[in-house]
Amino acid sequence: MPSLATFLPPSSPIDLASVNDSIVATTLVVFALALSLTLNRFGLRRCWRWILVSVVAVCGIGAAGLFVFNVDLVPIPLLFSGGLSLLLTQINRLWFLDRQLARALFHSSAGPNNSIGANARLLSGLKLLNTVLPLSEAVVFRYDETDSLEPVARFKGAGPNSQDPRRNSVWREGIDLCQRAVASGKLESQTSSGTNVAVPLLHESETAGVLLIRLASELSVDDASLLEAVGSQFARNLERESFSQNQAGSQSLSYFSQSGSKRKIDALNVLKAVTVEQRCEASTLTHIDDGVAIAYLDGTLALVNKTLLGFAGLDSERVSTMDVFDLLNKFRTDVFDEPAIAVRRVLQTGDEYEGELNFEPKNQILNLRISLLRDRQPATTNTPIGIALYVKDMTSTKEYEKLKSDMISLMSHELRTPLTSINGFAELLTADETIPPQAREFVSIIANESQRMSRMINTFLSVTQLQRKDKQEVLKIPLRLDEVVRETIMSLQPVAKKKRIRLIEQPAHRIPPVAADKGLITQAVKNLVNNAIKYSPERTTVTVSTALEAEAVRVCVEDRGFGIPAESKERVWDKFYRVVREGQEKDEESTGLGLSFVREVVEQHGGRVDLDSEEGRGSKFSFTLPRL
């Protein structure tokens, strides 16, 4: 009969490892792998409770197995393998994030900055400083980790002779002064042998170098603050140059490297230096006469200059709590009553919005422009990064344009009336057979000159009206340019025959219509043909042709006349310009407004003018208009 001891557990616990080593190894690996995957998938912040629960569960199961079943479930090896797995996984995660941080820092810090080298920028800064302070000599030292000072830029002013016997001792004193400035982190000066000043070049509380200068006079308090500001700029230049020259090693091991961590700090300092210089660039917008505001793509305002605050009737405290729509609402008018629609159009298309805002109660006219800002670095991205608002006061300009329009209207009435009378009476006197021949000649000159002045005024008024902002009087209709050319040739044939010039047309087939004002385009073609007839020798040919070119229709007037000198090709389109040829006097009958009128008309219709001419062989004037 079995004894009671047969059913009791043995006095010593059973070692599970002695039963089956493969089961123990598998358990350790599975537990470690489960913890590793959980940490890698969810992160320590989200899964630390479950890890803690699993540790408590392992401890509880191990204790229960040992005290209840007297079986050693190896909880200590399980906890050790799990803890080691968690540690290695977390190190790997931090290592991966560190590599990403290093790549982002190095890529941003190595981005395109000013193409001017650090030494050239330092020398330029010393020259700028010399305009304020009477520098005898200035040296910029770079400070490295070995506590040595390396000169990187030097400037010599109107100082003492370089062969001064005390030069070596003065140099040693200057080096000692630089060391004191580095140690104290403040500007140091001495007047034992002239005025020597050492300025520590500090950026983010780090010493990048020292500026040592010798002055011909004493240093004032205002100059000291200027030196510290210039020193900060020099420090940024040295930091950027040092970072660019210090090539990065393997980024994969930078997490465990002191030099790698130091380089990350250097990259961060370079980014801070770039940020300071960008603030300098942005501050220029606060000093321009036009109103400027910059908003991020989330609508918050990054910058609003004082001029725009004045236009909007705001102060800096109120605008700090506003977004771009709140700011645009301050410029609502009958025309600009939905700012959100204008902003949406700019964001969707990328095209600028421009409108004229008339505030009659304030007797103010503003021009508003909304533009999309894009990132040009690198040049291939062109990614939108913000919105810019430009507001310009057009009140004075509009008043000037109104005064100009009134003067033109006055000229049109007050000059035409007496000229009409002069021309009419001159023609009557010319027809009178009783006046002497010499008087008849004088009267004929009066009649011709009054007619020329009338033509000049008419052309001037036409050109001026085309240049006005309000061009509603231009009526664009579908117009066939070949028909306009044919009518023009028929009307000018008598003028051409009188000068023994052959005027011919070269029409093209199936010319599509264009959208144009028939009166203006007809006058433009007449101006070109009249010029060709006027400046062509007798018994030559003037050819007028029309042709279809892609999406435009071209009208070309070609002559075999004197041609246009190369230096005059661009100026012939200017108002009042007349070509003067060698050996010939300036044409007094020409007003110098005909070609200017042609260009204004063509450009108003969305076309362009062209000139192909060779002196002595003729000219080819042409223009194109978009087809319908």
For 500-539, the pLDDT digits (tens) are 899 998 877 788 888 888 888 998 999 999 988 888 888 8
Task: Collect contacts of 107-116 with beta carbons under 8 A, ≥24 apart.
Answer: 108/267, 108/271, 109/243, 109/266, 109/267, 109/268, 109/270, 109/271, 109/274, 110/243, 110/244, 111/377, 112/377, 112/378, 113/240, 113/274
Q: Position of tokens 């799990």?
A: 82
Q: CATH code for 399-467?
A: 1.10.287
Q: What is the 3-state secondary structure (H, E, C) of 137-161?
A: EEEEEEECCCCCEEEEEEEECCCCC
Q: Position of tokens 């004045």?
A: 310
Q: Please give the pLDDT value at position 546.
A: 92
Low-confidence residues in the chain, pLDDT < 50: 1-9, 11, 14, 16-17, 19, 112-115, 162, 469-472, 583, 586, 588
What is the rounded distance in angstroms from the CA atom of residue 138 to the CA atom of residue 127?
10
Q: Please give the pLDDT value at position 136.
A: 83
Q: Please give the pLDDT value at position 467.
A: 59
Number of neighbours of residue 264 by Cβ within 10 angstroms: 20
| Cα separations in angstroms, 328 against 219, 305, 398 | 50, 14, 23
Answer for the pair 578, 590: CB distance below 8 angstroms, yes or no. Answer: yes
Superfamily in which the 289-389 domain is placed by CATH? PAS domain (3.30.450.20)
Residue 13: cis peptide before it, omega within 30 degrees of 0: no
| HSE toward the beta carbon, residue 176, CA cutoff 13 A | 7
Q: Position of tokens 């939905």?
A: 338
Task: Collect contacts of 579-585 with beta carbons under 8 A, ≥24 apart.
Answer: none
Q: Please give the pLDDT value at position 368.
A: 92
Answer for the pair 513, 627: CB distance below 8 angstroms, yes or no. Answer: yes
Measured in residues, the chain has a length of: 628
Q: Please give the pLDDT value at position 17.
A: 46
Q: CATH code for 118-245?
A: 3.30.450.40
Give the distance from CA 512 to its chain's centroid. 40
Q: Please give the pLDDT value at position 470.
A: 47
Residue 81 three-state SS: helix
Q: CATH code for 477-626?
A: 3.30.565.10
Strand partners, 515: 478
Shared fold status for 289-389 and 399-467: no
Number of neighbours of residue 551 by Cβ within 10 angstroms: 10
- Residue spans of the domains in the chain: they are 4-109, 118-245, 289-389, 399-467, 477-626
